[in-house]
Structure 1
Amino acid sequence: MTGLLPAPGVPGLLNGSIPPGVYRLPPTESVPLAVSLAAESDWRAAVLRLKGVTGKAAFLDQSASDLEFPAWFGKNWDALADCLMDLSWWRNEGKARGYLLLTEDWDPFSKAAPKDARTAEAILTEAVDYWADREAPLAVLLG
């Protein structure tokens, strides 16, 4: 299970005092606040809205829609990993200091589809690890 984002929270993640990772968003911080802080810090942010998502197919459809994946996205776990390892679809607006992926309603999704949530979290973790040593890291906050 992913741990809670430690203090100082989102600002620490964005300024580098907390290493990029997959963290749970603290209840004292909100997705809109994190998106706003990311923009102020020259990080690109995207929100994956999981309300009503109860399985793999819906998760992948929602990911494609909310994250605006390219047309080549194949709507399977391998294609999700491919999109998260190749952020060219997200980098088309110029340089960013980092990339922040936030989810909303992770807990209901995780309860409805625990196996799919574990698979998705593993893919997110692999992607974060891949980008960790690069110029613009990827971080994920599960909210």
Structure 2
Amino acid sequence: MTHDVSGRHVVALDLDGVADKEGLMERCVHALELPDWFGRNWDALADSLADPSVWPAAVGERGLLVVVTGWRGYARTRPDEWATAEDVFAQAADRTPALTVALALGETPAR
């Protein structure tokens, strides 16, 4: 799901039910509309997040806000992987001023 907030293109990255790195990477592929050649590893995710040319076409020059929801279960069951994911998100945002990654603290709405 995407929205436009404060001029930025917003992408919801819903991690509800994600149990491992593979699941996280698949959710990233779909939410961020990553290309077929995306490597599904931490380095590839960091590079894709930090490279506006890989972002969804709708972003344009506005910047990208990725809102991560439903992440707490994954963080509890795979704390080492989640620590790496957080680091990847933070480093990409630090490298790319047009990128913001926000962790939603509320519960994921029922589907």
Fold match by TM threshold 0.5:
yes
Hey, what does 2:101 align to over in structure 1?
A: 140
CA distance in 2, matches of 1:75, 1:87: 18
Which has more radius of gyration?
A: 1
Determine whether 1:82 maps to 2:47: yes
Give the TM-score normalised by the residue count of structure 1. Answer: 0.66
Tell me the residue number matched to 2:61. 95
User: Aligned to 1:71, which of 36, 45, 48?
Assistant: 36
Q: Distance in 2 between matches of 1:125 and 1:140?
A: 7
Change (3 A) 1:68 1:115: same
Residue identity matched to 1:140:
V
Matches within 5 A, 1:1-143: 39-90=4-55, 92-93=57-58, 94-96=60-62, 98-132=63-97, 137-143=98-104
CA distance in 2, matches of 1:116, 1:110: 8
Does structure 1 retain, via aligned residues, the 8 Å contact 2:49–2:55?
no
Structure 2 gap ranges (5+): 105-111
Q: Distance in 2 between matches of 1:52 and 1:75?
A: 18
CA distance in structure 1 between the partners assigned to 2:12 and 2:56 by the alignment: 16
Once the 2 structures are TM-superposed, how far is the Cα of residue 92 of structure 1 from its aligned partner?
2.8
1:60 and 1:40 map into 2 onto residues whose CA distance is 25
RMSD after superposition: 1.8
* d(CA) in 2 for partners of 1:40, 1:125: 21
Displacement after TM superposition at 1:42 (Å): 1.3
Percent identity between the two aligned chains: 35
Structure 1: tracts of 5 or more residues without a match: 1-31
TM-score, normalised to structure 2, is 0.83
Name the one with the larger strand percent.
Answer: 2
> Does structure 1 conserve the Cα–Cα contact (< 8 Å) formed by 2:65 and 2:101?
yes
Number of residue pairs the alignment of both structures matches: 103
Q: How far, CA to CA, are the matches of 2:103 and 2:11 in structure 1?
A: 12
